[in-house]
A and B are shown apart, each in its own frame.
Chain A
Amino acid sequence: MPNGQDWAHAADPTDPIAPQVIGWLGTALIVAALLIAGLAGISALRRRGPFVLVVAAAVLTEVMILVQAVVAVAVSVNGQSADEPGLFFAYLVAVVLILPAALLLARAERNQFGSLVIVVGGLVLAVLVVRLQQLWGVPVG
């Protein structure tokens, strides 16, 4: 979106590196979040606690989130920022905390309900990342 009003505040269009980093990583995060929700959904259907694969995917996703968060902070320090920085960073904090919270909550419940907690966490994460991208002004998708 070269002339977009969308990222007019977000970044200089002639220097698309920063928004692009955020953009593709954001898309990868949405895919990862839905994958976690889907895998956890399969564990739930089998009346099992979250598969090891689900936990591994969640840990990997959390690493991606932390990279995303560091990039966002670094870019913001360099002067570019979201349309509404306060709102953006509030969402960022929620995105960073959601998976650990879901894992912690699911840990004591080693049955399908533990898996369902992870499903909820994955879906919420996907929604939050979409909102994060909207706030940054990156085209979603």
Chain B
Amino acid sequence: MCQLVDPTAAPPADARRRGPGRVLIAVYATFALAATARAAYQLSTKFSEAPIAYLLSAFAGVVYVLATLALVRVGRTWWRLAVAAVSVELLGVLVVGTLSILDRGAFPDETVWSVFGRGYGFIPLVLPLLGLMWLRKTRPVRHTDPPIGR
């Protein structure tokens, strides 16, 4: 299927969720579900065993849900929120990954981000990098904003 693309034309408003973005959204949605469900289970059944790890699980779940939602939505504000969520995700996997190696005692039970996401095939480490690359590529251009109040 060949599309004629005018390189000078502004990208479509929903460019972020098309093409590679759709694959990214599929993976993010998976992690949103996995992390949230995992946290809900941990918090509801064995919170006292490892409160810090389980609260971190819940935090990771919220970050993934926000990132998924922001990737799906159209517009500058959602793009900014997506950048913020994916950046926090990257920071989270790096910090938690490092801490979980340095101090095993602090993380008696696994979170999505433990050991840089080893339990999830290290996808949690790669995903935010791909996400930031994609967001950089689909950065909304100011002049594509619809004129307001004219």
Contact = CB atoms under 8 A, between A and B. Distances in A.
5 contacts: A86-B41, A113-B22, A113-B23, A117-B23, A120-B30
A117 B1 CA distance: 18
Looking at chain A's contact residues, the main secondary structure is helix
B12 interface: no
B33 interface: yes
A110 B29 CA distance: 20
Interface in A94-134: 94, 101-102, 105-106, 108-111, 113-114, 116-117, 120-121, 124
Looking at chain B's contact residues, the main secondary structure is helix
Interface residues of B, number: 14
B18 interface: yes
B25 interface: yes
A123 to B, nearest CB: 9
Interface in B1-28: 1, 18-20, 22-23, 25-27
Nearest to B3: A111
B19 to A, nearest CB: 5
Interface of B: 1, 18-20, 22-23, 25-27, 29-30, 33, 37, 41
A52 interface: no
A110 B23 contact: no
A70 to B, nearest CB: 22
Given A86-B41, A90-B41, A124-B30, A113 B25 contact: no
B19 A113 contact: yes
B18 A109 contact: yes
Given A109-B22, A111-B19, A90 B30 contact: no
